[in-house]
C-alpha cells in the first residue's frame, strides 16, 4: 500500500519551487508543485509537449496564456487544462503562504 499527504514534507524555506512525482504510469504522471512567491521569468514562456491538468489545492496563483490579455487567477479548488504546446506562464504565486498544485501530465 502506498500513501502520503500532499500537505506534508514541505520545506520551511523555498528558494526554488518544489516538484515531486506522486504517481506515474507509462504515458502520464501526477506531480505536486509547491510555490511561494515564485513566477516564470518575465521573458520566458512555458511550453510542453504533453497536456497538463492542474488543480490548485492551497494558496493562489495567476496564469497567463500567450495571446490572451486576461490573467487567470486560481484559488483553492480551481483547475485548468493546459493543452500541449500552449505557451503560458505563471505571473505570480502567493508570497504569504505556500501555493500547492497537483498537476497531471498526460498524452
How would you write the pLDDT of the chain (107 residues) with one tens digit per residue? 688 999 999 998 999 999 999 999 999 999 999 999 999 999 999 999 999 999 999 999 999 999 999 999 999 999 999 999 999 999 999 999 999 999 999 99
pLDDT recorded at residue 19: 96
**Annotated domain spans of the chain:** 18-106
The contacts of residue 106 (CB under 8 Å, 6+ apart) are 27, 28, 50, 51, 52, 53
| Under 8 Å between Cβ of 18 and 95 | no
Confidence (pTM): 0.92
Q: DSSP per residue over 49-81, as a string?
A: SSEEEEEEEES-EEEEETT--SPEEE-TT-EEE
Was domain 18-106 assigned CATH 1.10.3720.10?
no
**Burial degree of 65 (CB within 10 A; 0-12, 13-18, 19+):** middle
Give the distance, in angstroms, between the CA of residue 24 and the centroid of all CA atoms in the same chain.
16
pLDDT recorded at residue 3: 87
How far apart are the C-alpha atoms of 61 and 92, rounded to whole Å? 6
pLDDT recorded at residue 1: 65
Amino acid at each position: 500500500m502506498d500513501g502520503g499527504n500532499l500537505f506534508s514534507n514541505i520545506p520551511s524555506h523555498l528558494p526554488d519551487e518544489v516538484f515531486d512525482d506522486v504517481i506515474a504510469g507509462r504515458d502520464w504522471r501526477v506531480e505536486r508543485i509547491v510555490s511561494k512567491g515564485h513566477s516564470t521569468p518575465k521573458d520566458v514562456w512555458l511550453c510542453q509537449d504533453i497536456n497538463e491538468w492542474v488543480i490548485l489545492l492551497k494558496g493562489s496563483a495567476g496564469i497567463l496564456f500567450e495571446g490572451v490579455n486576461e490573467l487567470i487567477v486560481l484559488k483553492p479548488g480551481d483547475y485548468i487544462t493546459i493543452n500541449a504546446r500552449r505557451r503560458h506562464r505563471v505571473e505570480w504565486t502567493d508570497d504569504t503562504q505556500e501555493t500547492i498544485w497537483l498537476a497531471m501530465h498526460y498524452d
